[in-house]
Structure 1
Amino acid sequence: MIREFVLPPAALDELAHGGAWPGAPAAMERGKNTLLLHAVATRSRELGHPGAQAAADGYRLLTHVHRAAPAAAAQTLGYPLLGTWASATVAALERGADDAAPHRLAAVAAAAVLLARLPLTVRFHTDAGAAELPGLGRLVLPGIAAGEPVALVADGSGAARLDVAGERFPLPRVLRADAEAGGAHGERARWEGVRDAGFLLDDVDPWRFPGPIPPLERLAGPEAAAWGTRLRRAMRLLNARHPGVARALREVTKVVVPISPPEAGTRSATARTAYGSVAMSRPHDTRSAALTLAHEVQHAKLTMLMDLFDLVRPGVRDHYYAPWRDDPRPAAALLQGAYAHMGVAGFWRAERHVAADPEVAHSEFARWRDAAYEVCLTLLAGGALTPLGRRFVRGMLETLAAWRAERVPAEASARARRAAARHRLQWVARHRS
């Protein structure tokens, strides 16, 4: 299940100029997750973890599914949130932490068997009152403790059930929806699916977003429908006005994870462990949703690239001013920000010709193209970049220099310069020693 990746020079240049690398992101996510799952199985065995046998059984079964039904295996292995759990599990195993969960690999295999429609029985365990099938959803069983044995019984035709605590719960044939599960638990037992909202909307995976920002709990039906409407409208806008961004999203991004909003505005993030997913609070409108996706797909592309190659020299400790942040940033984060804001500038570059508020759009275009351009110059002037990183940033600079040659109305340009100057003055005042 493990393969080697080669980056053609033309693909690097295409990415540097803001494009995508057709066909690569999905294969790279699968490859990264496969390596991580192999590490989970191997290290749990070497360290004698109690979940090692379940992990080994799961990995062997995934190998079987890969041979018997490669498309189903690819869908399972390519699910971005696997990377978050597997990375956390490998790290926890190395630390000897109590929260290592290698046994979940058996549930991953169960999800692959269900997708493959293979006539098999797969055994795994519940996780805090639910039987999980990563990438598909969970059977919620109030009163059932974590660690209860579960058996997925699939007949090969698409019909399947979960046997838990002496009861049988038929799974719905359409998994991407909520459904009552029956059994002695009555209406409290229910299936909660990963929902189709243009992207997959995952508000059930326990590892759906790492870090301090809490993901939202299960969205009620109307709220999930509102998310779906906004995301679909955003993709329609991108397809109509920003076809390059839309192509990149189709190549890279599979999952949206709803997260809690800040006190004011919205926020979004792309986790390095799951670059095929975007975590975002609910956007205010269609355009802000489209802008968020345009911003985050840039992070995803660069994270994918930086997983494979060093663009910044290891061990560099210098920190820099970033025109979009209040804190000094290390070189790798500065490069990430520049690439993401090149995407933001590209979004406003197209929007300024169709927006109802063209002065705002012109101003946003001018501010962020100039900011990204200046950061690229800073990076090239320093010694933080590797030769490959310098080639990448020079490619970014070519695109940004061409955009800087485009005319922006005088008032919009002045507005952008005032905003940039205000940010720098505030930053200097904040960090004056």
Structure 2
Amino acid sequence: MNGDSGKRVVTRRKALGIGSTLAVTSLAGCMGFFSNNNDQNVEIPSLSDFRGSGSLVEGRPAPGGTSIEDLPNLSGELALYIGGGEGGIYYEFVEMLQDIYPDFTVYPNDNDSASLAQTIVEEVDAGAAQADVFWSIDASSLGFVADNDAYEPLSDAAVDPVAKDQFVGTDKAWAGVAGRARSVPYNTDELSSSDIPTTVQEFPSTDALRGTMGWAPTYGAFKSFVTAMRLIEGDEATRNWLVDMQEAGTERYANEYAVSQTVANGSLAAGFANHYYAMRVKNQQPDAPIDLAFTEGDAGALINVAGALKVKGTRRGELVDDFVRHLLSSEAQEYFATISFAYPMIEGVAPVGGLPTIDELSPPDIDLAKLSNLEPTLDLMDEAGVSG
């Protein structure tokens, strides 16, 4: 990432480095079958309308991939369960789609992704599914729905744009639409890239990091990170790591943006956070002394995804497929990359600010759906004294 100083945020070998909630319970009865009407008076906004602003966005090339103008028109009504967190940003894109397609209407129900996943499973089990599509901010919630057989496979056309197989659920249960990488934000006035180990297991014993790091254990992304560590290293090694990090003086924060901001202001030398929080800091403060490092092949290199799933029992399966195709369009991926600083899921769209591409990172080889096995993680964190 280039700031006014000309420094890159990622300088290392892979440089470690809704709308309002609406009641949806009556939708099944009042929403009829959709009919795809390609005679709508459709006007696609210019690329600038899909693109964010700030120092990280300036000078970007036009995105590759399939443009909205080359996709089937969206027509009909869609009941959308959309996860919280980034859901507000995501729903703004849904509103843009409704502006583009006058015959397309979305009825949203927003809550945290885990709660919505539970609700979907309960509704499907009761034979009373209220949602057509579930847009979760994380793969663990998608995996929970899929594991409970509350989905219908997406079409080939819907999942084909996703560049990496690991970002598509088994049996095409879901498609990733935006990625986020675990990272180590560090203060460049205090540390250099060579101070950051290539594996998180080395962190507690690294002298340059003792008493200088921060984390946010209550944050969902941190729990997914610990879950990934359990899957890779086992419970005992993960418990020991949590204890060792506490004994090394790691400070606790409410969220990972606070961790990244505190790194930027020099109160912390480094921390654990999703990559996009440092991007937000840098977009607001181009000269902030913050860079990113990524570990290699372990839980610290986890790439999680927000994704979309077709809910079992929907009568609007074709519309769901076309909706997901729009989420993977060049305009949508440019939107997610430059508004929320997410990793694009399709080829031809670059991440912001000089971030390494997904191909340049070394994420662990795990099934993201298995991140839904959260209860053992919470128990382990309690045992280690790191209450989530």
Q: TM-score, normalised by structure 1?
A: 0.23
Q: TM-score, normalised by structure 2?
A: 0.25
Greater C-alpha radius of gyration: 1
Q: Which of the pair has the greater relative contact order for Cα pairs under 8 Å at 6+ separation?
A: 2
